[in-house]
């Protein structure tokens, strides 16, 4: 048994909230810079330049990259040998509140989705997976709601053709248009149950964007690359004002599913894809 | 690059066309979902608005808390289409400009044309960069809404792109609302 103190977890969560919001993920920044170099549409290039400049200013001045500091999604991978000296969920929320206050982030959470009310910093949406070992891995993904609002789920028939699924994914991006702040990172979840497909699509956003894309070695990988190509042909571009860069990457996560079903969820992230991880 | 001042004069508004890149200096008022809902309620009940909207510019923005030593936190635009249903009424009440991101509905475009107003875009997702152009921030209404309160911002050389001009031209393809679709029998 390895005991980890609640205060340690709280402080790590706090730091991750701040880091995720001030310092754009390295792989995302690199992908944006590469897109800027490649882009031929003058206005699109200028906007991509502003996006990169914004990340640099945020990092230097310790400011939130975007004013929508998101709904904090916290992913925990807890080793079976780990014992938390305290209430894990309460500790995570204390860490979120601490980080959001210290980092001058935004209180964007309301307690009752129907009666709304005063904005607070918590609670976070917490996902906990128990795994082998004695480590505790914490990931914070502050999900902006401009893009979260464009999430779509479709329960396909098990005999659906791949072309129908591709059409749905591309239409979801088309529907989002400029509203979710392109260029996008498109997360797709295929399989499981309806809710699991949605979780897969969200988790797909955590995957690092590869700088050098290897040749496709699987049907899923090939699908990711086909979709990226077709999405970029939509010419939505940064701020929806046209250009070659509508998406930086498409990440698909799959899971076994029922013989009668084929759930597909698309969860789009804006260009300010923020997440930070720590392993205790 | 045109330099314009807020509040906007009618002649200034008429001179703007879609795609124009401008730098604005003067006063903006932030307002988003809940503030719009409250203002419409007030107008419906015949009450005075907390801000006289005549000639003013609204910026669809809910900033982060202001860090020590800064004039504002991160303050980029939020999605304008969520305010579409409230906008024609505010334009009728004298609002002259809006700043946000994304496309607007047919009804908003028609109201912008009718009341000779203008809709601007600004850099989406670039709240840190945009904070540099805000010189002063003051909450002036609906303070209980926290980030969704109405803040008075004094800005200098704040970068904008004209999204919809006073002649009703839109830089985006027109967004069909469910209401508009029903009217057309779609």
pLDDT value at A167 more than 70? yes
ipTM of the predicted assembly exceeds 0.90: yes
Please choose, from the candidates A267, A264, A266, A265, the residue with its C-alpha nearest in 3D space to the C-alpha of residue A158: A264
Per-residue pLDDT tens digits for B90-122? 999 999 999 999 999 999 999 999 999 999 999
Residue contacts between A and B (CB atoms, under 8 Å): 124
In chain A, the percentage of residues whose pLDDT exceeds 70 is 100
Query: How much is the pTM?
Result: 0.94
Pick from A34-48, A205-219, A241-255, B138-152: least confident = A205-219
pLDDT value at B175 more than 60? no
**Residue whose pair of structure tokens reads 């004209």 in the numeric block:** B162
Report the chain A residue with the minimal C-alpha distance to residue B60: A67
Per-residue pLDDT tens digits for A226-244? 999 999 999 999 999 999 9
User: Which of these CATH numbers, 1.20.1300, 3.40.1130, 3.30.1330, 3.30.750, describes A146-273?
Assistant: 3.30.1330
A72/A140 Cα distance (integer angstroms)? 7
Could you tell me which residues are beta bridge partners of residue A262?
A: A156
H or E element in which residue B40 lies:
helix B33-44
Query: Could you give the residue ranges of the DSSP H alpha helices within chain A?
Result: 6-22, 26-38, 42-61, 88-102, 145-148, 162-176, 194-203, 219-232
Per-residue pLDDT tens digits for A80-106? 999 999 999 999 999 999 999 999 999
B86/B84 Cα distance (integer angstroms)? 5
**Contact criterion met (CB < 8 Å) for A179 and B79:** yes
B118/A65 Cα distance (integer angstroms)? 28
In A184-221, which positions are buried (b, 16+ CB within 10 angstroms) versus exposed (e)? bbbbbbbbbeeebbbbbbbbbbbeebeeeeeeeeeeee
What's the mean pLDDT in A161-188?
97
Chain A positions touching B147 (Cβ under 8 A) are 67, 106-108, 119
Chain B positions touching A181 (Cβ under 8 A) are 101, 124-125
| Catalytic entry in B32, B36, B56, B175 | B36
A140 and chain B: CB distance < 8 Å anywhere? no
- Contact of B30 with B63, CB cutoff 8 Å: yes
* Pair of tokens at residue A21: 């919001």
Domain B2-175 sits in CATH 3.20.130.10:
yes
**pLDDT at res. A217:** 82
In chain A, the percentage of residues whose pLDDT exceeds 90 is 96
In chain B, the percentage of residues whose pLDDT exceeds 70 is 92
* Pair of tokens at residue A98: 């601490």
H or E element in which residue B106 lies:
helix B106-114
Report the chain A residue with the minimal C-alpha distance to residue B127: A66
- Contact of B141 with B50, CB cutoff 8 Å: yes
Q: Where are the domains of chain A?
A: 2-24+65-143, 146-273
Per-residue pLDDT tens digits for B18-36? 999 999 999 999 999 999 9
**pLDDT at res. A211:** 81
**Contact criterion met (CB < 8 Å) for A67 and B121:** no
A103-A104-A109 Cα angle (round to 5): 100
What's the mean pLDDT in A181-187?
98
- Contact of A122 with A96, CB cutoff 8 Å: yes
**pLDDT at res. A179:** 94
B61 and chain A: CB distance < 8 Å anywhere? yes
**Contact criterion met (CB < 8 Å) for B127 and A107:** no
B63/A69 Cα distance (integer angstroms)? 10
Q: Where are the domains of chain B?
A: 2-175
pLDDT value at B45 more than 90? yes
**Contact criterion met (CB < 8 Å) for A63 and B147:** no
């Amino acid at each position: 048994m390895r005991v980890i103190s609640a205060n340690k977890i709280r402080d790590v969560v706090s730091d991750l909230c701040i880091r995720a919001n001030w310092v754009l993920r390295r792989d995302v920044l690199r992908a944006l810079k590469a897109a800027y170099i490649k882009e031929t549409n003058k206005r699109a290039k200028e906007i991509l330049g502003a996006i990169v400049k914004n990340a640099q200013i945020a990092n230097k001045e310790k400011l939130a990259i975007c004013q929508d500091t998101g709904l904090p999604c916290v992913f925990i991978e807890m080793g079976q040998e780990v014992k938390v000296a305290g209430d894990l969920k309460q500790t995570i929320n204390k860490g979120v509140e601490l980080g959001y206050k210290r980092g001058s982030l935004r209180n964007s959470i309301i307690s009752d989705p129907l009666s709304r009310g005063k904005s607070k910093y918590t609670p976070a949406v917490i996902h906990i997976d128990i795994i082998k070992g004695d480590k505790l891995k914490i990931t914070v993904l502050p999900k902006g709601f401009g893009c979260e609002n464009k999430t779509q789920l479709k329960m396909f028939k098990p005999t659906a053709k791949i072309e129908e699924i591709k059409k749905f994914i591309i239409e979801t991006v088309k529907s989002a248009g400029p509203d979710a702040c392109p260029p996008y990172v498109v997360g797709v979840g295929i399989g499981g149950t309806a809710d699991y497909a949605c979780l897969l699509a969200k988790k797909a956003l955590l995957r690092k964007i590869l700088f050098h894309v290897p040749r496709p070695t699987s049907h899923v990988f090939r699908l990711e690359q086909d979709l990226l190509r077709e999405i970029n042909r939509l010419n939505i571009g940064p701020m929806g004002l046209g250009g070659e860069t509508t998406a930086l990457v498409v990440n698909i996560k799959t899971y076994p599913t029922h013989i009668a079903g084929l759930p597909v969820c698309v969860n789009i992230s804006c260009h300010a894809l923020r997440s930070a991880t720590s392993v205790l | 690059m045109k330099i314009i001042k807020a509040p906007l004069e009618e002649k200034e508004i008429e001179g703007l066309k879609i795609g124009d890149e401008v730098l604005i200096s003067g006063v903006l008022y932030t307002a988003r979902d809940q503030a719009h809902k409250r203002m419409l309620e007030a107008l419906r009940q015949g009450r005075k608005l907390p801000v006289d909207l005549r000639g003013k510019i609204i910026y669809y923005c809910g900033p982060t808390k202001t860090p020590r030593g800064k004039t504002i936190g991160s303050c980029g635009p939020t999605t304008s289409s969520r305010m579409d249903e409230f906008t024609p009424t505010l334009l009728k009440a004298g609002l002259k400009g809006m700043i946000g991101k994304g496309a607007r509905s047919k009804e908003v475009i028609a109201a912008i044309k009718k009341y000779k107003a203008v809709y601007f875009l600004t850099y989406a997702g670039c709240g840190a960069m945009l904070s540099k152009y805000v010189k002063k921030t003051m909450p002036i209404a609906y303070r209980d809404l926290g980030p969704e309160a109405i803040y008075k911002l004094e800005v200098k050389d704040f970068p904008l792109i004209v999204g919809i001009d006073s002649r009703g031209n839109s830089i985006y393809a027109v967004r069909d609302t469910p209401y508009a679709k029903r009217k057309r029998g779609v």
